[in-house]
Amino acid sequence: MTREEKRAALRESRVVLVSACLLGHACRYDGQSKGSDRVSQALAGKEVVPICPETGAGMGTPRPAVVLRGGTGEAVLAGQAQAVERESGQDQTAAFRRGAELALEAARRFGATVAVLKERSPSCGTQGTYVGERLVQGRGVTAALLHASGIITVSDEEL
């Protein structure tokens, strides 16, 4: 799907799932938010369902930075890659999968057909995410599950 097609789908949608950090919630791993005027403008008049897969799965804020290991979000969902804390290597795969499932549940419960997600996050990235120290093309775990489930995923950087 092209950027223009995604933007058109967003314009036509009524209910939108949105990464909570883009709405100004201070839920990032470093305790910061990523509030975006561009996102707010794109969501004007829509029903917004905020999600934060990582805090939703019980990870606190602030929390250790997590990277994917062995592949992108699709590989994590397939059991072929993991989500691990960057410094300690502690495995957080179960929490990342749980967070993704909760986001999908929210989309279904509220009838969201489109999700606007924060780029480059190991959960929410739709075009790029970190595998180890490398930024690679691909989706984070939540973006991968939403995409596989028919939700149109749009990066905040595509708006």
List residues near ligand SF4 by CB under 6 A. Answer: 19-21, 27-28, 52-54, 118, 121, 123-124
State which residue, 27 or 81, has the beta carbon closest to ligand SF4. 27
State which residue, 2 or 141, has the beta carbon closest to ligand SF4. 141
State which residue, 8 or 65, has the beta carbon closest to ligand SF4. 65
User: What's the N-to-C CA distance of the chain in angstroms?
Assistant: 14
In the complex, the smallest distance separating the C-beta of residue 18 from ligand SF4, rounded to whole angstroms, is 8
In the complex, the smallest distance separating the C-beta of residue 116 from ligand SF4, rounded to whole angstroms, is 10
**What length does the chain have?**
159
Interacting residues of 77 by C-beta distance below 8 A, sequence separation 6+: 97, 100, 141, 144, 145, 148
In the complex, the smallest distance separating the C-beta of residue 124 from ligand SF4, rounded to whole angstroms, is 4
Determine contact, residues 74/125, Cβ cutoff 8 Å. no
Beta bridge partners of 130: 135
